[in-house]
Amino acid sequence: MASRRHQRLALATAVLTLTTAVGCAGLDKALDCVRTADAIATSVGNLQQAVSSASEDITQASEALDDIDRELKKLDDTTDNADLSKAVDDLQAGVTSVRESIEKGDATPDITPVTNAATEIGKVCTP
């Protein structure tokens, strides 16, 4: 009888340990998402500033786009959330569009798709 009680206790302990481990992994992913969303927001802010002063130095906008690309790669590697994946895809499309506009000589490209998608990532990543 005592043996059965020890088996149940061992099983309960194993289940609790597994649940805690999975919970911590989920928490780690959520924190990664929040950190990356914050970095993306900073990069989008830099992009907005660079575009508003594009007549001075358009390379700042390109650097901000590169920063966003780096953060998107990190975020894409850490998520399996469908809403977040869509927001990441939308942001990537916006970044591509802005980059193409800059390469064609547009000193003040429309960055609305970038800001909208970044806002959506912020919403999805908010715990």
pLDDT tens, N- to C-terminus, the chain (127 residues):
454 444 443 333 333 333 344 445 566 667 777 877 888 888 888 888 888 876 567 788 888 888 888 888 877 676 677 888 888 889 899 999 998 998 898 878 899 999 998 888 888 887 6
SS3 34: helix
- Looking at this protein, which amino acid is placed at residue 25? A
Q: How far apart are CA 65 and CA 54, in angstroms?
A: 14
For residue 99, give the 3-state DSSP assignment: helix
The candidate with the shortest Cα–Cα distance to 81, out of 34, 125, 37, is: 125
Percent composition of the chain: helix, strand, coil (DSSP 3-state, to 5): 85, 0, 15
Count of beta carbons in the 10 Å neighbourhood of residue 100: 11
What's the pTM? 0.70
Q: What is the pLDDT of residue 62?
A: 84
Return the sign of the alpha-carbon dihedral for residues 68, 72, 74, 75.
Answer: positive
Could you tell me which residues come within 8 angstroms of residue 6 by beta carbon, excluding any fewer than 6 positions away? none
